[in-house]
Amino acid sequence: MRIILLRHGQSLGNVDELAYCRIPDHALPLTETGEEQAVSTGATIKALVGDGPVAAYVSPYRRTRRTFELLDIDAERVVHEPRLREQDWGNLQDPTEQEVLKHQRHAFGHFFFRLPNGESGADVDDRLAAFLDGLEARLLKDDAHPKTVLIVSHGLTIRLLCRRLFDWSIELFESLSNPDTCEHRVLDHDGTGWRLDRPFDQWQDSPDGTTQLPPDTPSRIRFP
């Protein structure tokens, strides 16, 4: 079994933070650079998918759906999955308030800090747990479901999905950086556990001393 994780291409919100003040997060488009990234990444993702069937689970946000479209992947199943959406910061954002919230979130901890009218990282973690339970059931019990899965989502969402699969500590999660736009990770399962093809960039050592699993070490979270 294989899961390919892909962050969307560069979006307007990545280059203009004030865009969140006038455009709903879910409606932010890709930039021209983001569209080019998605097109050029298509060949890489096709090679990772191979010749077999693939199921695609895509965040319903505009930037993720457009990224998937530009990959030009011939997926057997395409599901626009709301549980893969970005962390909710709460409707249109006020620039002054958001700057204050970012400082509070950094001091409090990205995982537990709940944004007013939005979500905490823990909230996102909870919905991803439900998504992974359903995906596990389909991979193991539905013979018609492809064993290769492409997930097109968002930076924090992708990190938290890996946190769930590898049972990373909260401290380690908060020490990792998001993948770059249109950057991918590959998870392979050999019957004993999941393996991550390469670690995430880390901006500091985890305060609890834990580390990411090396590529040749299986996760402790196993599908039977």
CATH no. for residue 38? Answer: 3.40.50.1240
Q: Choose among 15, 9, 94, 88: nearest CA to 44.
A: 9
11 is in an annotated binding site: yes
pTM score above 0.85: yes
12 assigned ligand-binding residue: yes
Query: Binding site annotation covers 109?
Result: no
Residue 222 lies in a domain: no
Tens of pLDDT, residue by residue over 111-170, are 999 988 899 999 999 999 999 999 999 998 899 999 999 999 999 999 999 999 999 999
Is 26 among the residues known to form the active site? no
For residue 10, the enclosing domain spans 2-191
Give a yes or no: residue 211 inside a domain. Answer: no
Instruction: Give yes or no for residue 213 having a pLDDT over 80.
Output: no
Q: Which amino acid is at 60?
A: P
Annotated catalytic residue within 8, 154, 184, 189: 8
Tokens representing 155? 């930076």
Q: What are the tens digits of pLDDT across the range 43-92?
A: 999 999 998 899 999 999 999 999 999 999 999 999 999 999 999 988 88
Asked if the model's pLDDT at residue 95 lies above 50, the reply is: yes
4 bridge partner residues: 150, 186
Q: Which of 86, 119, 184, 189 is catalytic?
A: 86
Residue 122 CA to residue 77 CA, distance in Å, equals 29
CA nearest neighbour of 201 among 172, 177, 165, 168: 177
- Mean pLDDT across 25-34: 97
Confirm or deny that 62 is annotated as ligand binding: no
Number of domains within the chain: 1
Residue 205 clears pLDDT 50, i.e. is over it? yes
In whole angstroms, give the CA distance from residue 202 to residue 210. 12
Residue 216 belongs to a domain: no
Q: Say if CB 91 and CB 117 are below 8 A apart.
A: yes
**pLDDT band for position 224 (cuts 50, 70, 90):** very low
Q: Taking all residues of the chain, what is their mean pLDDT, rounded to a whole number?
A: 91
